[in-house]
Chains A and B, each alone.
Chain A
Amino acid sequence: MDYILQQSLNALQLGSIYALIALGYTMVYGILTMINFAHGDLFMVGAFFCFIVATFLKLSFIPTLLISMIGVALLGVAIERVAYRPLRQAPRVSAVITALGVGILLESVMLVIFPYPQSVPTLLPNITWTIGGVTISLLQVIIICLSIGLMLLLDFIVRRTMVGMAMRAISWDKVIVPLMGVPLNLIISVTFALGTSLGAAAGVMYSQAFPVIDPYMGVLIGWKAFISAVVGGIGNIRGAMIGGFILGAVEIMVVAFFPSTYRDFVAFTLLLVLLIFRPYGILGQPRPQKV
């Protein structure tokens, strides 16, 4: 029983990281129907921001988190402005290729600055509690609570504020809605800022939990978060959260009860089967193209 609880805690921790990153993919897709493949690398940049701020400015956790989120949000907005906006009318495949290129650019720039894996200083006290055989660390609690808090905040912004309403309207129709006076470019920039800052938050927490970071760290986890977004129904915000937690839980539970070599095999077979029965993801809705 303790064992299952401990593994569930591990699953929650991994799932909340996946979910936070998946949100960035899904938000951009929702508004631009474009997959921002550079998002995993923006997560990596978030982790490096954390490293730089914590090492050279020696700030504590909350300021580090905020600076990283703002820094990466600005970077995300700049990338959209420079690389994606000129291609908005181009074939969608051009934008996807550009996104891949931006990702490689970010990796390479980081590789030039930090060729070696770096060790991130610990910003949170190393406190662990043992409750009936289950070990819980302060870090795990913070990661899980902060992720869920950020997701609730995002959900609130999208569903209850004017900006959120504008975002949903633009994702519904990009031609008519701007004619009603909704500033298209501004709303798209806000979407990028929100999505990438969540990715940065995930990067900061990730680099606290796993304090050895390198420029390629975003590749694998970016793919997994993207899969989470697809499983949840890409374009759907609550779906991305659910998808992240599902992928995290499946990965951990496979390791918990089968030989760990089967992890990716079982996890991704399950996801494939799921997509056969729900091709638009768990919460996704089919969007028929009107001719």
Chain B
Amino acid sequence: MKKGLLLFSLLIIASFLVSACAGAGGGNVIKVGGIGELTGDIPAVGASFKNAAEMAVANINNAGGLEVGGKKYQIQLIIEDNAGKADQSASAAQKLITQNNVVAIIGPNASRYAIPAAEIAESEKVMLISPWSTNPRTTLVGDTDTPKKYVFRACFIDPFQGRVVAKFAMENLGAKKAAVLYDVASDYNKGIAEFFKQTFEEIGGQVVAFETYTTGDKDFNAQLTKIKETDPDVVFLPNYYSEVPLQIQQAHRLGITVPFLGSDSWGSGELITLCGSDCEGYFFSTHYAPDNASPEAVKFIEAYKAKYGSTPDDVAALTYDAFGLLWQALQTAGKVDRQAVRDAMATIPKFDGVTGTMKFEEGSGDPIKSAVILQVKGDSFVFYANANP
């Protein structure tokens, strides 16, 4: 009995050693971790993330690998599901770092999952790039204004987006009074709503209603009735694509006829499926316009369409860019080392991505890049205007 136990524990120790060796040495393989919302309340985001991630990795591997420091490496992608839960996001990051020994992590996408995962990455000193998390806190330490050292993103941030939408509402739609309805339990929605309010009031507008709900609510009649009472010129809904259709449908049923505005969380094809004709003609700010893309982006869009049968949404495009940034950082670093990759990433001077040109400066994980305003028309999103930082 005792002998058996000893043998068993020896076996376990041996297997640990073997796996540790495989992780560290790994031959000519670079391990990259991915965390996506594959299940949970926004699975369309996770699906786009996974599609684009697999495509980005396949492109490299099919071309013979990524050349880092004069040596060709194959990429091994390990994708973890965070099930749309903050705690699972953190544990997925922990697992990828300690068990899978990845060189960097791409994802999660939604801010409410990216923030907890980013905390783990920062404390473990492993680079994390979130493709789609726009809340400023993702790249900041705790509640302070000091930037995280190891966390980056491929998208612009909410203050910028809130500013863009507020200016658009006033200058292009001529709105003087705006109403906002947002999910107070979600970092993303809350942040962007507050930045919208701040800018809109700064440029002389008035926010007449600032109403909230919590994740999972489906009945917004009370809040919308209140909004209707205040008679706004425009209603801003910085909420996820699965909730926006309900909000707009209920508003229409209550007789609210003013235009609705949204943010990049609208930008999923699912929005149109769920909304039907109710969302026709409304605007939202987002990362890129598939119908107004650079030649480089067109190549990506065509390849994505051919492989998955749909136009890549902003999550897919940003995920692809996040991987592109990682490849560039790896090549600049010249070696497969967590710290060196992070240092190279922090000072990328120029990256031509699908979602436009971006650059990074030491002291912030946020890229400097521009936004676009899209309009819902028929069954697609159409380019409407550019918005520069």
Query: Complex: how many Å from CA A256 to CA B225?
Result: 8
Known: A130-B255, A214-B41, A219-B216. A260 touches B225 (CB 8 A): no
- Contact A220–B229 (Cβ < 8 Å): no
B225 touches A116 (CB 8 A): no
Stretch at the interface among A6-14, A24-32, A66-74, A150-158: A6-14
With A and B bound together, what is the CA distance between A256 and B223 in angstroms?
A: 7
Q: What string of 1s and 0s marks CB contacts (under 8 Å) between A56-73 and chain B?
A: 000000000000000000
Q: Which residues of A contact B225 (CB under 8 A)?
A: 3, 6-7, 10, 256
**Docked complex Cα distance between A257 and B273 (Å):** 35
Taken residue by residue from 17 to 51, chain B's Cβ proximity to chain A (1 for < 8 Å, 0 otherwise) reads as 00000000000000000000001010110000000
B222:A119 contact, CB within 8 angstroms: no
Contact: B245 with A212, CB < 8 Å? Answer: yes
Q: Which of A7, A117, A219, A252 contacts B270 (CB 8 A)?
A: A117
Q: How large is the interface on B (under 10, 10 to 19, 20 to 34, 35 or more residues)?
A: 20 to 34
| CB of A211 within 8 Å of the partner chain | yes
Q: Does A206 count as interface, using CB distance less than 8 angstroms?
A: yes
CB pair B255 A252 closer than 8 Å: no
* A179 to B: closest C-beta gap in Å: 47
Q: When chains A and B are docked, how far (Å) is the Cα of A23 from the Cα of B210?
A: 35
B221 within 8 A of A: yes
Query: How many pairs, one residue from A and one from B, have CB atoms within 8 Å of each other in the complex?
Result: 87
List, in ascending order, chain B residues with CB within 8 A of A89's CB: none
B212:A210 contact, CB within 8 angstroms: no
Are A116 and B221 in contact, CB atoms less than 8 angstroms apart? no
B254: chain A residues within 8 A (beta carbon): 6, 135
A261 to B181, CA, bound (A): 11
Q: Which residues between 220 and 234 of chain B lie within 8 Å of chain A, taking CB atoms?
A: 221-223, 225-226, 229
CA of A261 to CA of B246, assembled, Å: 19
Bound-state Cα–Cα, A18 to B41, Å: 23
Tell me, in angstroms, the Cα distance from A80 to B216 when the chains sit together: 28
Q: Closest residue to A2 on the B side, CB-wise?
A: B229
Compute how far the CA of A13 lies from the CA of B220 in the bound complex, rounded to whole angstroms.
12
Known: A10-B221, A116-B43. A216 touches B245 (CB 8 A): no
Nearest B-chain residue to A220, judged by Cβ: B216
Q: A217-228, CB under 8 A of B: which get 1 and which 0? A: 101110000000
Assuming the A-B contacts A212-B245, A212-B246, A260-B213, are A119 and B273 also in contact, with contact meaning beta carbons closer than 8 angstroms in the complex?
A: yes
Q: A residues within 8 A CB of B229?
A: 3
In the complex, chain B residues whose CB is within 8 Å of the CB of A117: 41, 242, 270, 274
Residue of A nearest to B243 (CB): A212
In the assembled complex, the Cα of A115 lies from the Cα of B355 at a distance in Å of 28
> By the criterion of a CB under 8 Å from any partner CB, how many residues of chain A are at the interface?
38
* Residue among A3, A115, A252, A255 with the highest chain B CB neighbour number at 10 A: A255
Interface of chain A, main secondary structure:
helix
Q: In the complex, A206→B216 CA distance in Å?
A: 14
Q: Tell whether A126 pairs with B253 under 8 Å between CB atoms, given A261-B184, A261-B212.
A: yes
Within the complex, what minimum Cβ distance (angstroms) separates A10 from chain B?
4
**Which B residues between 239 and 278 are near A, CB-CB below 8 angstroms?**
242-243, 245-246, 249-250, 253-255, 270, 273-274, 276
A119 & B245 in contact (Cβ 8 Å cutoff): yes
Interchain CB contact under 8 A, B184 and A212: no
Asked if B214 is at the interface of the complex by the 8 Å CB criterion, the answer is yes
Q: Is A137 at the interface (CB under 8 A from chain B)?
A: yes
Given contacts A117-B274, A216-B216, contact A135 B253 (CB under 8 A): yes
In the complex, what distance in Å separates the CA atom of A217 from the CA atom of B243? 12
Within 8 A of A (CB), among B28-83: 39, 41, 43-44
Are A128 and B41 in contact, with the CB atoms below 8 A? no
Is B242 touching A212 in the complex (CB atoms < 8 A)?
yes
B343 is an interface residue with CB less than 8 A from chain A: no
A141 at the interface (CB under 8 A from B): no
Q: In this assembly, does B194 line the interface, its C-beta being within 8 Å of a C-beta of chain A?
A: no
Q: What 17 additional pairs, Cβ within 8 angstroms, besides A11-B222, A209-B219, A212-B243?
A: A10-B221, A10-B222, A14-B219, A115-B39, A116-B43, A117-B41, A117-B242, A117-B270, A128-B255, A139-B253, A211-B246, A212-B274, A252-B221, A259-B210, A259-B212, A260-B222, A260-B226
Would you list 5 pairs from A and B whose C-beta atoms are within 8 A, ordered by A residue?
A135-B253, A209-B219, A212-B218, A212-B242, A219-B216
A residues contacting B by CB (< 8 A) are 3, 6-7, 10-11, 13-14, 111, 115-117, 119, 126, 128, 130, 135, 137, 139, 206, 209-212, 214, 216-217, 219-221, 251-252, 255-256, 259-261, 263-264
Closest 8 pairs (CB-CB, A-B): A255-B222, A210-B218, A10-B221, A220-B216, A252-B222, A119-B274, A117-B242, A260-B211
